[in-house]
C-alpha cells in the first residue's frame, strides 16, 4: 500500500525565535493556525480520498515548532489526530516537526502517549558558530539531547539540515552530516538555503555581506551528502524546498530548483559513468539501464549525454529490465 503524508501546517505562533532565514508565510503559504475542528474536517475528507485510492497516510503537523505552540492547542490537535487514527484505517500514525530546544522529557512523554510515530528536528547545522550567526537560539548539544529523548521514547527520529547559511562552508555542512550520522536518524531532509525578502539573510544579501553557495557548488555538495547518508542507511526523504509560487516570488537568492533532487541524482550517475568509461577507449556506446534510471542516466536536458560527449564518449541510453548502467560498445549492441 502506497504511503503518503496529510500535511497540516502550523504557522509561526509558537516559535521563540525568528531565525535569519525564516519567512514562514512564503515557505508554507499559511496565514493562520487551523482550529482543531478544521483539522478534523480535513482528515475526514482526506480519509475518503485515501480509501478510494487504496493509500495509507501519516498525519503530519509541519511548520517547524509544533511542540512550542500553546500547550492546550497542541493537545487539541493531538487529540484530533489520535481520534482520526483510531477511526480511519488509512491513517497509520502521527508525525511532527519541531525545534531541538522545544523537546524535553515531558514533551517526549506526551508525544509517546498520543502515539506520535516520528519527530523531525529542525537542526539546520551542527556548527555552533553557524547556529549563532543565524539566530537559531539553540546549540548542537541541544540537538543531541533532543534526539536522545525522542529515540528513548521509541519514536522515529528525523533530522533537517540546511546548506549555505550565513557563516557556513561546504566543509561545515559535511561535518553536520557526520554529526547527524552519529545520532542515527531514520530520515533526513536537506534544504539548500533560499534567501527570502523580509529576513535577516535578505538584508545581509542585499548589503553584499552574505552570499550563499552557488548552484553548481550546492549540487556537488548535495551529491556528497546524499551518498554519505545512503552509505549509512539513512533515507533522504527531501532534497530542496517544495515547488512554491510564494517562494519564487519572494526569493532574492540562494538555491531553489523544483527538480533539484533529480539533478543531484543525475550527477551521481554521471560520476559513476565517467569513472567506468575511463576504462574504455573513446567512441560510441549504448548504456543499458532499467526504466527508473533512464532519466537520471540521460540527465536533465540531456546534460549527462552532452558532458560525456565532450570527453569523447557518445552514448545512447536504452532501457533493459534489470540492467544497472551496463556499458556496451555500439558495434556489439
User: What is the Cα–Cα distance from 297 to 333, expressed in whole angstroms?
Assistant: 18
Evaluated on CA atoms 206, 209, 214, 215, the torsion sign reads negative
Contact 59, 81 (CB under 8 A): yes
Residue 51 C-alpha cell reads as 480509501
Evaluated on CA atoms 35, 41, 45, 47, the torsion sign reads positive
Contact 23, 59 (CB under 8 A): no
User: What is the Cα–Cα distance from 158 to 184, expressed in whole angstroms?
Assistant: 9
Q: What is the 3-state secondary structure (H, E, C) of the chain?
A: CCEEEEEEECCCCCCCCCCCCCCHHHHHCCCCCCCHHHHHHHHHHHHHHHHHHCCEEEEEEECCCHHHCCHHHHHHHHHHHHHHHHHCCCEEEEEEEECHHHCCHHHHHHHHHCCEEEEEEEEECCCHHHHHHCCCCCCHHHHHHHHHHHHHCCCEEEEEEEECCCCCCHHHHHHHHHHHHHHCCCEEEEEECEEECCCHHHHHHHHCCCCCCCHHHHHHHHHHHHHHHHHCCCEEEEECCCCCHHHHHHEEEECCCCCHHHHHHHHHHHHHHHHHHCCCCCEEEEEEECHHHHHHHHCHHHHHHHHHHHCCEEEEEEECCCCCCEEEEHHHC
Residues 6+ apart with CB under 8 A from 278: none
Residue 250 C-alpha cell reads as 519572494
Residue 330 C-alpha cell reads as 555500439
User: What is the Cα–Cα distance from 28 to 59, expressed in whole angstroms?
Assistant: 17
- pLDDT for the residue 26: 45
- pLDDT for the residue 64: 66
Query: What are the pLDDT tens digits along the chain (333 aa)?
Result: 688 999 999 886 767 667 898 875 544 444 578 999 999 999 999 999 999 999 999 999 998 689 999 999 999 999 999 999 999 999 999 999 999 999 999 999 999 999 999 999 999 999 999 999 999 999 999 999 999 999 999 999 999 999 999 999 999 999 999 999 999 999 999 999 999 999 999 999 999 999 999 999 999 999 999 999 999 999 999 999 988 888 889 999 999 999 999 999 999 999 999 999 999 999 999 999 999 999 999 999 999 999 999 999 999 999 999 999 999 998 765
Strand partners, 194: 254
- pLDDT for the residue 202: 96
- pLDDT for the residue 103: 97
Contact 60, 78 (CB under 8 A): no
Global model pTM greater than 0.75: yes
Amino acid at each position: 500500500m502506497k504511503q503518503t503524508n496529510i500535511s497540516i501546517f502550523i504557522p509561526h505562533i509558537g516559535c521563540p525565535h525568528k531565525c535569519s532565514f525564516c519567512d514562514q508565510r512564503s515557505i508554507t503559504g499559511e496565514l493562520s493556525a487551523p482550529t482543531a475542528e478544521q483539522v478534523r474536517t480535513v482528515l475526514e475528507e482526506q480519509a475518503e480520498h485515501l480509501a478510494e485510492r487504496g493509500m495509507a497516510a501519516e498525519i503530519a503537523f509541519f511548520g517547524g515548532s509544533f511542540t512550542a505552540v500553546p500547550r492546550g492547542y497542541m493537545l487539541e490537535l493531538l487529540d484530533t489526530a489520535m481520534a482520526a487514527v483510531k477511526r480511519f484505517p488509512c491513517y497509520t500514525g502521527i508525525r511532527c516537526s519541531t525545534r531541538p530546544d522545544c523537546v524535553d522529557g515531558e514533551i517526549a512523554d506526551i508525544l509517546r502517549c498520543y502515539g506520535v510515530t516520528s519527530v523531525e528536528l529542525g537542526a539546520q547545522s551542527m556548527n555552533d558558530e553557524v547556529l549563532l550567526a543565524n539566530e537559531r537560539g539553540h546549540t548542537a548539544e541541544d540537538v543531541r539531547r533532543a534526539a536522545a529523548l525522542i529515540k528513548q521514547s521509541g519514536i522515529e527520529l528525523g533530522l533537517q539540515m540546511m546548506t549555505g547559511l550565513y557563516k557556513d562552508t561546504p566543509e561545515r555542512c559535511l561535518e553536520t552530516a557526520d554529526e547527524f550520522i552519529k545520532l542515527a536518524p531514520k530520515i533526513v531532509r536537506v534544504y539548500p538555503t533560499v534567501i527570502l525578502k523580509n529576513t535577516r539573510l535578505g538584508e545581509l544579501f542585499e548589503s553584499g555581506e552574505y552570499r550563499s553557495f552557488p548552484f553548481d557548488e550546492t549540487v556537488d555538495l548535495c551529491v556528497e551528502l546524499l551518498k554519505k547518508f545512503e552509505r549509512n542507511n539513512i533515507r533522504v526523504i527531501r532534497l530542496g524546498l517544495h515547488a512554491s509560487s510564494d517562494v519564487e516570488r519572494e526569493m532574492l537568492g540562494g538555491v531553489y530548483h523544483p527538480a533539484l533532487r533529480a539533478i543531484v541524482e543525475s550527477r551521481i550517475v554521471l560520476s559513476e559513468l565517467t569513472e567506468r568509461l575511463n576504462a574504455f577507449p573513446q567512441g560510441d556506446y549504448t548504456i543499458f539501464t532499467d526504466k527508473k534510471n533512464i532519466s537520471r542516466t540521460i540527465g536533465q536536458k540531456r546534460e549527462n549525454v552532452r558532458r560525456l560527449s565532450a570527453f569523447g564518449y557518445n552514448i545512447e541510453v536504452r532501457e533493459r529490465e534489470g540492467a544497472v548502467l551496463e556499458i556496451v560498445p555500439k558495434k556489439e549492441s
